[in-house]
Amino acid sequence: MSAEIGHFALIVAAILALGQSVFPMAGAARRHGALMSLGNTLATGQFVFVLIAFGALTWAFVTSDFSVANVVQNSHSGKPLLYKITGVWGNHEGSMVLWCLILSLFGACVAWFGGNVAPGLRARVIAVQGLIGLAFLAFILLTSNPFDRVNPMPPDGRGLNPILQDPGLAFHPPLLYLGYVGFSVTFSFAIAALLEGRVDAAWGRWVRPWALAAWSFLTLGIGLGSWWAYYELGWGGFWFWDPVENASFMPWLVGTALLHSAIVAEKRDALKSWSILLAILTFSLSLLGTFLVRSGVLTSVHTFATDPERGLFILAILAVTVGGALLLYAWRAPTLKGGGLFRPISREGALILNNLLMTVAALTVLFGTLYPLVVDTFGLGKISVGPPYFNATFLPLMAPMILAMGIAPFLPWKRADLIGVLDRLKLIAGVAIALAAAVVFIEDRHSFAAALGLGLAAWLIGAAGWETAGRIRLFHAPPGESLRRASAMPRSAWGMTIAHAAAGVVVAGITVSGVWQTEVIRTMKPGDRADLAGYTIGFAGVREVTVGNYRARRGHFIVSEGGVAVDALWPEKRLYLPQRVPTTEAAIRTTLFSDLYVVLGDPDGKGGHAVRLYHNPLVPWIWIGAVLMFLGGMISLTDRRHRVGAPRRSARPASPRPSEA
Amino acid sequence: MRRRAVLPILLLALIFSSGSPPFRAQAIEPGEALKDAGLEERARDIGRQLRCLVCQNQSIDDSDAPLARDLRRLVRKRLVAGDTDREAIAYIHTRYGDFVLLRPPVDERTWLLWFGPAAALFVALLFLLWRLRRSRAAPPVEALSAESAARADALLREGGDER
């Protein structure tokens, strides 16, 4: 029964979405208040009905209702409850329902918390959200119904792919979707503004919190995915420049640009047309990512033919959305009033530089991702674009970016004194350069990359700390005075400082783990010892265990430091029973500064096992940095001026303080 | 529907794994590494630049496919025989074609790939510079025109043209 309820709820949600896309739009055109506010009700309704559908699907998974095809294919009665629940979005159909759920949630959020947005604009935003929702609900209903029944009902399901049975993966997709889909709101704001033909500074203010929320979730989602890849795939890599990773990275890059250009739109009433374009591009890239992944067009051109229906449907959604939005932009944007003057050395100049570098970086990733496909399509042969390309093109863009990130927070709006700012930063610059020089001196391998990465990281973290210290007059005023200043500092300023410093933390983690990773790969017999990075790792043996729905060979390693045992590690080689799929579970001893990473390989038949031991210095900083970026975004979001639904202030300061951002 | 079950699982594995192909296992086996640490280091660096041709998106250094192992051995053999890094890569390239190179060759097909983003950056900078010069040359005019635009707006509104 629950399947029918779910299916019916999806149909109702689609109808409500249709109404949501028509009535408020008509209401906004005719300035009809009741029609406009009808959109709010419909948005809430759409959310409620998608929630019912999602609940029904979850119920089918939790109760192992094997009359539902989707449950049969992706669940198993012997699976732990957590993975029964996460199995709901661990498959194509279910993850599209999750996508729609989050999309309708964002639409409803605009209805619930958008009280400070001008009614006409808000009605149009909700209508555009409804239109996107309608497209995706139709996609589910026509091509990917998760509620299809099977007859006869099989005795048990096939189980969820074991590599998805992991806590990290349980929360990766929802977070990633909160990011991807969150950018639908900024997209809707852009389309609504183009339809209205008017963009003012208030538009920038309304868009900022949505962009910030979506960006924060996307950051955390990407970070979580990379962390999972690191500990689950069993060899210590964390980023592979894989098409699917790139698909999530491109919206992040352009979304970051949007986040910054919206600041200029709000504070300086400039870059408005550009911000609108960025909002369109960010969501377009989210959709492109969905298309690439869903159609399988990138994994292999032939996968596309296996299920052309779905691929073509999403391609159609993509073409209509992106094409339509860009056409509307080309038609309407020239009529938008251009921004004011700016000087290159100013806060807005620095933000424009950020935009430029982020957008070009996204272009690099886009080219690298699609190029093999394009070359192949034109019959020019097969080429590969891999990490060496991305490292060669992406990093030269990031280096000036990070240099500018250190300076930008010191620059006031309109016109700044670069020499003066550099003079204030000379201590930080000196430390960063000294660190880089020291690295060149001690390291002979990859020393340029190591020096550059560490120097930039030190520069970024140092500059962020220095800026805050200067602002609260640390050590230049009595501690009480500094504390008072610190607590009076706007939350958005704290958020910016934390997020910028966090980027430095990530850079440090990537650089150090990349350059100074050490490894031991050898066959070990019980009783053997291996030395790695100051640790002695003794192999105590292997035993067979059966846990829940898998069987495993579990290795036992004893880690000692200076002759004293400090830890025991238990890496596993698992065999998940329903599917008989093997997985590798690395065992990791982490301090905040390094990871000891142990992987058990196959037995050699002579009593030994292939064993891989890695020492990854500073690798935890990559994810600590990602979490800090997320927290920075969240802290900024709690700023009174960002709070969604905060009452509009009657008077805004005529010229914002330079420190605000 | 049921026949296709493998596809969604594979796709999802792909999405959820942040793009890392599923079933990725460890690459280098014990005993593969060269005794000479310097040579081995070079071999690893080269391995990271060559694609495992039968894998989804892995270098031969990351893959445990038999072909990847063969290529790793081949690279090491060439290095031991005295090849430079460039020669070893060229050796593999001539036998396996462009597809094996994770760093695509620079030729007329890939000019856009290699130089497109840089060209875009250059054009954008030129555009900004042009805007800057124009706005610098014309601030008084701009101020006037804003004023007259407001006046024009007011006049239009008087004309009863309600948007």
pLDDT per residue as tens digits for the range B121-157: 999 999 888 887 877 665 444 444 555 555 555 555 5
Nearest CA to CA, how far is B68 from chain A (Å)? Answer: 16
Does one domain contain both B52 and B123? no
How buried is residue A309: exposed, middle or buried, by Cβ count under 10 Å (0-12/13-18/19+)? exposed
Per residue in A582-613, pLDDT (tens digit) is 888 899 999 999 999 999 988 888 888 989 99
Instruction: List Cα–Cα distances, A136 to A283, A293, A432, A589, in angstroms.
Output: 14, 15, 49, 43
pTM, two decimals, is 0.88
Indicate the Cα dihedral angle A202, A207, A212, A215, nearest 10°.
Answer: -150
Say yes or no for a CB contact (<8 Å) between A90 and B4: no
- Work out the angle at residue A642's Cα, subtended by the Cα atoms of residues A494 and A503, and round it to the nearest 5 degrees: 40
Q: Would B19 be classed as within a structural domain?
A: yes
pLDDT band for B32, please (50, 70, 90 cuts): confident
Say yes or no for a CB contact (<8 Å) between A363 and B97: no
- How many residues can be counted in chain B? 163
Structure tokens at A153: 């009902």
DSSP designation for B21: P
Whether residue A130 contacts residue A52, with contact meaning beta carbons closer than 8 Å, is answered with: no
**What stretch of H or E contains A599?**
strand A594-603
A-interface mutation test, from B3, B4, B10, B12, most A Cβ less than 10 A away: B12
Residues A366-374: contacts with CB under 8 Å, at least 24 apart: A366/A246, A366/A250, A366/A285, A367/B112, A367/B113, A367/B116, A367/B117, A368/A241, A368/A246, A368/A393, A368/B113, A369/A243, A369/A246, A369/A247, A369/A250, A369/A292, A369/A298, A371/B104, A371/B110, A371/B112, A371/B113, A373/A297, A373/A298, A373/A301
Instruction: List Cα–Cα distances, B142 to A30, A335, A337, A338, B136, in angstroms.
Output: 35, 17, 12, 11, 10
Say yes or no for a CB contact (<8 Å) between B125 and A356: yes
Query: Rounded to whole angstroms, how far apart are CA atoms B30 and B21?
Result: 23
Say yes or no for a CB contact (<8 Å) between B59 and A584: no
Nearest CA to CA, how far is A549 from chain B (Å)? Answer: 18
Does one domain contain both B67 and B135? no
Say yes or no for a CB contact (<8 Å) between A92 and B12: yes
Per residue in B90-131, pLDDT (tens digit) is 999 999 999 999 999 999 999 999 999 999 999 999 988 888
Q: Which amino acid is at A380?
A: L
User: Could you tell me which chain A residue has the CA closest to the CA of B42?
Assistant: A445
Instruction: List Cα–Cα distances, A512 to A401, A447, A454, B111, in angstroms.
Output: 20, 11, 8, 33
Whether residue B40 contacts residue B30, with contact meaning beta carbons closer than 8 Å, is answered with: no
Q: Would B94 be classed as within a structural domain?
A: yes
Query: Rounded to whole angstroms, how far apart are CA atoms A253 and A219?
Result: 10
A-interface mutation test, from B2, B3, B10, B16, most A Cβ less than 10 A away: B16
Q: Which residues pair with A600 in a beta bridge?
A: A611
How buried is residue A601: exposed, middle or buried, by Cβ count under 10 Å (0-12/13-18/19+)? buried
Q: Would B105 be classed as within a structural domain?
A: no
Does position A390 have pLDDT exceeding 80, yes or no?
yes
Whether residue A332 contacts residue A280, with contact meaning beta carbons closer than 8 Å, is answered with: no
Question: What was the pLDDT predicted at B151?
Answer: 55
Q: Would B74 be classed as within a structural domain?
A: yes
> Under 8 Å CB-to-CB from A379, ≥6 apart: which residues?
none
Nearest CA to CA, how far is B92 from chain A (Å)? Answer: 14
Nearest CA to CA, how far is B81 from chain A (Å)? Answer: 23
Q: Which residues pair with A573 in a beta bridge?
A: A553, A584
Say yes or no for a CB contact (<8 Å) between B142 and A296: no
Question: What was the pLDDT predicted at A338?
Answer: 63
pLDDT band for A91, please (50, 70, 90 cuts): confident
Structure tokens at A108: 């409803």
Does one domain contain both B15 and B59? yes
- Which residues on A lie below 8 Å from B44 (Cβ)? none
Rg (CA), chain A: 27
Name which residue leads in pLDDT, A224 or B57.
A224
pLDDT band for A244, please (50, 70, 90 cuts): confident
Listed in order, strand segments (DSSP E) in A503-593 are: 518-524, 529-532, 535-547, 550-561, 564-569, 572-576, 581-585, 587-590
Whether residue A75 contacts residue A160, with contact meaning beta carbons closer than 8 Å, is answered with: yes
Does one domain contain both B95 and B22? yes
Question: What was the pLDDT predicted at A122?
Answer: 94
Helix (H, G, I), strand (E, B) or coil at B40: helix
CATH number of A164-358: 1.20.120
- Which residues on B lie below 8 Å from A232 (Cβ)? 17
Does position B161 have pLDDT exceeding 80, yes or no?
no
CATH classification of the domain holding B14: 1.10.8.640
| A-B contacts at Cβ under 8 angstroms | 211
- Which residues on B lie below 8 Å from A521 (Cβ)? 28-30, 32-33
**What mean pLDDT comes out for the span A472-479?**
85
Nearest CA-CA partner of A230 in B64, B62, B17, B57:
B17
**What stretch of H or E contains A167?**
helix A167-196
Question: What was the pLDDT predicted at B163?
Answer: 32
Does position A646 have pLDDT exceeding 50, yes or no?
no
Per residue in A614-638, pLDDT (tens digit) is 999 999 999 999 999 999 999 999 9
| Structure-token match 């009595």, residue found | A478
Does position B14 have pLDDT exceeding 50, yes or no?
no
Say yes or no for a CB contact (<8 Å) between A388 and B103: yes
Nearest CA to CA, how far is A437 from chain B (Å)? Answer: 24
Cβ neighbours, 10 Å, residue A27: 23
Does one domain contain both B11 and B60? yes
Which residue, B100, B126, B147, sits at the end of a domain? B100
Question: What was the pLDDT predicted at A301?
Answer: 40
Helix (H, G, I), strand (E, B) or coil at A567: strand
Question: What was the pLDDT predicted at B5?
Answer: 37
Whether residue B19 contacts residue A243, with contact meaning beta carbons closer than 8 Å, is answered with: yes
Say yes or no for a CB contact (<8 Å) between B48 and A240: no
A-interface mutation test, from B26, B42, B93, B103, most A Cβ less than 10 A away: B26
Burial annotation A42-77 (CB, 10 A radius, 16+ → b, else e): bbbbbbebbbbbbbbbbbbbbebbbebbbbbbbbbe
Say yes or no for a CB contact (<8 Å) between A386 and B57: yes
Name which residue leads in pLDDT, A401 or B5.
A401
Query: Rounded to whole angstroms, how far apart are CA atoms A309 and A325?
Result: 24
Nearest CA to CA, how far is B77 from chain A (Å)? Answer: 19
A-interface mutation test, from B1, B2, B10, B20, most A Cβ less than 10 A away: B20
Say yes or no for a CB contact (<8 Å) between B121 and A360: yes
User: Could you tell me which chain A residue has the CA closest to the CA of B143?
Assistant: A340
DSSP designation for A547: E
Say yes or no for a CB contact (<8 Å) between A242 and B21: yes
Name which residue leads in pLDDT, A323 or A268.
A323
Nearest CA-CA partner of B44 in B71, B81, B82:
B71
Does one domain contain both B67 and B141? no
Does one domain contain both B64 and B129? no
**What mean pLDDT comes out for the span A159-165?**
77
Say yes or no for a CB contact (<8 Å) between A242 and B20: yes
> Under 8 Å CB-to-CB from B91, ≥6 apart: which residues?
B74, B78, B83
Whether residue B24 contacts residue B58, with contact meaning beta carbons closer than 8 Å, is answered with: yes
Does one domain contain both B138 and B71? no
pLDDT band for A417, please (50, 70, 90 cuts): confident
Q: Would B163 be classed as within a structural domain?
A: no
Structure tokens at A239: 């980023």
Does one domain contain both B90 and B40? yes
- Which residues on B lie below 8 Å from A90 (Cβ)? 12, 16
Q: Would B14 be classed as within a structural domain?
A: yes
Say yes or no for a CB contact (<8 Å) between B16 and A383: no
Say yes or no for a CB contact (<8 Å) between B15 and A93: no
Query: Which residue segment(s) compose the domain that B140 sits in?
Result: 111-158
**What stretch of H or E contains A427?**
helix A426-442
**How many Cα atoms sit within 13 Å of A226 on the Cβ side?**
27
**What mean pLDDT comes out for the span A341-355?**
86
Does one domain contain both B86 and B14? yes
The total of structural domains in chain B comes to 2
Smallest Cβ distance to A244: which of B14, B103, B109?
B14
Q: State the distance between the two ends of chain A, measured CA to CA, in whole angstroms.
A: 53
Does one domain contain both B86 and B140? no
How buried is residue B94: exposed, middle or buried, by Cβ count under 10 Å (0-12/13-18/19+)? exposed
Smallest Cβ distance to B26: which of A344, A359, A599?
A599
Quote the mean pLDDT of chain A: 88
Nearest CA to CA, how far is B124 from chain A (Å)? Answer: 8
Does position A645 have pLDDT exceeding 50, yes or no?
no
In the 3-class helix/strand/coil scheme, how is A24-42 assigned residue by residue?
HHHHHHHCCHHHHHHHHHH
Nearest CA to CA, how far is A517 from chain B (Å)? Answer: 12
Say yes or no for a CB contact (<8 Å) between B30 and A381: no
Nearest CA to CA, how far is B75 from chain A (Å)? Answer: 18
How buried is residue B2: exposed, middle or buried, by Cβ count under 10 Å (0-12/13-18/19+)? exposed
Is there a common fold for A1-160 and A164-358?
yes
Does position A144 have pLDDT exceeding 50, yes or no?
yes
Say yes or no for a CB contact (<8 Å) between B11 and A296: yes
Q: What are the helix and strand counts (H, E) for chain A? A: 21, 10
Nearest CA to CA, how far is A420 from chain B (Å)? Answer: 23
Indicate the Cα dihedral angle A284, A286, A290, A296, nearest 10°.
Answer: 80
Per residue in A284-299, pLDDT (tens digit) is 999 988 777 766 666 5
Does one domain contain both B90 and B120? no
**What stretch of H or E contains A433?**
helix A426-442
- Which residues on B lie below 8 Å from A306 (Cβ)? 4, 7
Structure tokens at A12: 């109702």
DSSP designation for A486: H
- Which residues on A lie below 8 Å from B7 (Cβ)? 296, 303, 306-307
Query: Rounded to whole angstroms, how far apart are CA atoms A206 and A116?
Result: 8
Instruction: List Cα–Cα distances, A473 to A410, A425, A481, A495, A617, in angstroms.
Output: 14, 15, 8, 19, 35
Say yes or no for a CB contact (<8 Å) between A299 and B56: yes
Classify domain A1-160 at the CATH topology level: Four Helix Bundle (Hemerythrin (Met), subunit A) (1.20.120)
Say yes or no for a CB contact (<8 Å) between A293 and B14: yes
Least confident range from A481-485, A528-532, B151-155: namely B151-155
Domain boundaries, chain A: 1-160, 164-358, 389-511, 518-620
Question: What was the pLDDT predicted at B149?
Answer: 54
